[in-house]
Chains A and B, each alone.
Chain A
Amino acid sequence: MSDVVVAGVGMHPWGKWGRNFVEYGVVAARAALQDAGIAWRDVQFVAGADTMRNGYPGYVSGATFAQALGWTGARVSSSYAACASGSTALESARAEILAGRCDVALVVGADTTPKGFLAPNAGDRPDDPDWLRFRLLGATNPTYFALYARRRMALYGATEADFAQVRAKNARHGLENPNARYRKDFSVDDVLASAMVADPLRLLEICATSDGGAAVILTSADWAKRHGVADRVKVRAISTVTPTFPQTVIEMPNFSTDSGVAFSADAVTPFKAAIAQGAYEESGIGPEDLSLAEVYDLSSALELDWYEDIGLCKAGEAERLLHDGDTEIGGRIPVNASGGLACFGEAVPAQALAQVCELTWQLRGQAGARQVEGATVGITANQGLFGHGSSVLLST
């Protein structure tokens, strides 16, 4: 298979700016074009990652961004896959290049978010499980994050201090990241002193909702070579697998797991592990080859689950990895060198692309104070509602 190259990346800083999401997307897209040294008119395909909270323009984000940048007759697509929307858009752009239908593609995701808990859009929808879980159970996203955290405590003896230590690590990582929204040093004690939201998770351990935008330019390797575009960072794999039945971990926004009555769950790879496995299988690269990872720390405790799901250690060993400093910048396998969602908050359609931006800067040696020395291989992992998740594997 011919290589697809990450030719450029760009972001609009995360924050709570309260402006139109299109503005963030265009700022990120222009930054990525400039980073790649590619003119907007050279882009043949635009892949937008949709937002559900910004009206019709959000549902047709590919066209929205293309129009804002100025119609050029480029082909467009718009993708929605909850938190994995950015990777799904990235995958559609890569597929166009691999199919030989284009050489230069722009991928953009951006969001403007309301304050507080993510909640369903207004209106009565008793057939929608995402609406029903709020109405009947009062179950928010942190409810589910907290169930996983408590389960980890019961299974492996994890403690609230372990979870707080994840948050403290990511706070240190994000301090020097100009795109991060929260750039403040928090100690374990600071984290443990913050208000309990969903026991055992506290305010500082649950990712906020943010405004932000991220963009990635993909090109074919041949085109990059012909046009003298930087081709150091290559896309080795994009995994967007679904869960496999029976799914035995309760996922947002569900009321239940699948039943294992007809089908033993023992032979099934759990969803989060399957997401990364898809990327490892496609690339032929394994966890032992990684220089760093960007994982979806929707909560502090979830980051520990990811260590195991992406194969950095065996089940139950994540706390040891954390305490040994392995996942800190300077350690064996730094995780969330960007500061992660802890320092960004989540701008849903932009977040998976932001992970790709970070890996790209790291693999080019351009990450400044948070640089992972000698980074050559990186993986992202993320997961969202309704059976969506993704993993992107990049290498030099």
Chain B
Amino acid sequence: MPAIEGWFTIDDEPVLLGNRCTSCRTVYFPKASFFCRNPDCDGEEFEEARLSRRGKIWSYTDAQYQPPSPFIAPPGDYQPFAHAAVELAEEQMVILGQVASGFGVADLEVGQEVELIVEELYSDDEHDYLVYKWKPAGAERDGVRA
């Protein structure tokens, strides 16, 4: 199940679920609630926006040390993972996410095309909790470029 409700779909071609002000068309992710944040817009109604599945890396980094709680580390030795901030052309915004497991900073560059996937973030006795991640477009899993 998703680690957070309503932020993304978990089908074969997952998308981020934002919303769009019906007055000024500004897109929000995570979804805006109640009021549009464009200072010139008094919009209060939003429609769901399925964001572009692909974008280009604005910048990237990694987490060589385990982040503190409320991050939940997978069991076993800590495995560093990467982050990417990704520009979506149509939405004209940048969205931060983890990078798919198996891909490190050596696999990434600014301007590179990535696509959205969902992967396990953590699990407990009842569920696997999923989160969206960015994966180099067209790459095979485990860090091998196609």
Contacts and interface: CB of A to CB of B under 8 A. Distances in A.
Contacts of A135: 3, 70-72
A138 B71 contact: yes
Contacts of A256: 28-30, 93-96
A248 B94 contact: yes
Given A147-B85, A150-B110, A262-B38, A197 B65 contact: yes
B38 A245 contact: yes
A197 B85 CA distance: 18
A151 interface: yes
B123 interface: no
Interface string A215-249: 00000000000000000000000000000011010
Interface stretch (A124-132, A356-364, A378-386): A124-132
Nearest to A202: B64
A71 interface: no
A306 B103 CA distance: 32
Contact of B38 (A147, A248, A263): A263
Nearest to B70: A135
Contacts of B9: none
B144 interface: no
B62 interface: yes
Interface stretch (A5-13, A115-123, A176-184, A318-326): A115-123
B93 A119 contact: no
B93 A146 contact: no
Given A131-B70, A197-B65, A250-B85, A262 B95 contact: no
Nearest to B49: A259
A143 B83 contact: yes
A199 B95 CA distance: 19
Contact of A154 (B37, B59, B67): B59
A256 B83 CA distance: 13
Contacts, number: 138
B13 interface: no
B83 A261 contact: no
Given A137-B83, A262-B38, A257 B94 contact: yes
A17 interface: no
Contact of A140 (B39, B41, B67): B67
A199 B38 CA distance: 34
A114 to B, nearest CB: 9
| Chain B: interface size category | 35 or more
A254 B98 CA distance: 14
A140 B63 contact: yes
A257 B92 CA distance: 9
A146 B62 CA distance: 8
A150 B59 contact: yes
B117 interface: no
A136 interface: yes
B75 interface: no
A195 interface: yes
Contacts of B91: 259, 261
Contacts of B27: 259, 261
Given A116-B68, A147-B60, A137 B28 contact: no
Contacts of B26: 246, 258-259, 261-263
A100 to B, nearest CB: 33
A256 B96 CA distance: 6
Nearest to A120: B70
Interface in B27-68: 27-30, 37-41, 58-65, 67-68
Contacts of A139: 63, 67, 83, 96
A148 interface: yes
Contact of B64 (A122, A148, A198, A259): A198
Contacts of B15: none
Contacts of A129: 30
Contacts of B65: 117, 197
A198 B67 CA distance: 11
A134 interface: yes
A56 interface: no
A99 to B, nearest CB: 28
B61 A134 contact: no
A72 B121 CA distance: 54
A150 B38 CA distance: 29
B31 to A, nearest CB: 11
A37 interface: no
Interface of B: 3-4, 21, 24-30, 37-41, 58-65, 67-72, 81, 83, 85, 91-98, 105, 109-111, 121, 131
Interface of A: 116-117, 119-120, 122, 124, 126, 129, 131-140, 142-143, 146-151, 154, 195-201, 245-246, 248, 250, 254-263, 265
Name the 6 nearest CB pairs between A and B, nearest first.
A146-B61, A154-B110, A260-B92, A119-B68, A138-B67, A151-B59
5 contacts: A132-B4, A140-B68, A143-B61, A250-B85, A256-B29
